[in-house]
Homo-oligomer: A and B are copies of this chain.
Amino acid sequence: MGEVEVVNASKSARRQRLFYQVASGSGLSFPSAFIVDEGQKLAKRAVLSMRRGPIRYRRNSTIVCEGDPADYIFMVVDGIVRRCKAFQNGARAIVAFHTPGELFGWTDEVNHALSAETATDALILFFKRSALFSVAAREQKVASFLLSSTMAELRRIQDHSLLINRSAKCRVASFLLDLSTRTDGTTAVDLPMSHQDIADHLGLSIETVSRTITELERACVIERASARTIVLTNRAALVRLLN
């Protein structure tokens, strides 16, 4: 716990305590995703040497702003990260959420195109981009990890972009199913982020998100255990909504 840098110290002792338990419980060791081949000790050491953090963030903190130099790329250790763009009229679009284990901010451009913010309290690992880039050029295993990581993100955002001509009901259903599979896959889905975040991700208003959830509940497709917990009562019906 001593190696955790603290940013934006929390005022809630209870929450902080719980958070530290999670933080020290898992994820602080080097993520195994990088260690593709046990024989590649060199790659492992090289990548480890450029690790910084993890740094702890409170909810709604900004990790990087759009336009910031892309000196670092990041990995979620714990919590949820949102990557978004703000528009002049105050609107905001959330391109993607990132869950623990996911790399984000990886780019070949000089600056980040999107802001990265924490949607919940979060632990973030930093990597120097230039170092990672040059290691990737030498070490095949690192390069292929980056490639598969990028392709996973590509696949995810392709699915998301398919929502552009879909109804509110379909968007929400898609989101719930996605969230369910990305977490544990059980029928009870915890919504770690606010409805505002969900709305900005789905391109809807918070009112429509709320109304749609109510509508799905009335149709006995889902059930609200609490405002932030939804039970997927009838997953098949939810899948049918996707078409």
Contact = CB atoms under 8 A, between A and B. Distances in A.
Interface in A96-142: 106-109, 113-114, 136-138, 140
A36 to B, nearest CB: 11
Interface stretch (A9-17, A158-166, A177-185): A158-166
Contact of A147 (B93, B138, B143): B143
A95 interface: yes
A88 B200 CA distance: 27
Contact of A164 (B106, B137, B148, B163): B163
A204 B91 CA distance: 21
B151 A95 contact: no
A40 to B, nearest CB: 13
B93 A165 contact: yes
Interface residues of A, number: 40
Interface string A155-173: 1011011111100000000
A147 B154 CA distance: 12
B155 A113 contact: yes
Given A95-B162, A143-B144, A150-B150, 6 more contacts: A108-B148, A113-B158, A137-B144, A157-B158, A163-B164, A164-B202
A165 to B, nearest CB: 4
A203 B160 CA distance: 13
B150 A147 contact: yes
27 contacts: A85-B162, A88-B243, A89-B243, A93-B162, A93-B164, A95-B158, A95-B161, A107-B151, A109-B155, A113-B158, A114-B158, A136-B147, A137-B140, A137-B144, A140-B140, A143-B143, A146-B147, A147-B147, A147-B150, A150-B150, A157-B157, A160-B164, A161-B164, A163-B164, A164-B203, A165-B200, A165-B204
A153 interface: yes
Contacts of A200: 165
A178 to B, nearest CB: 14
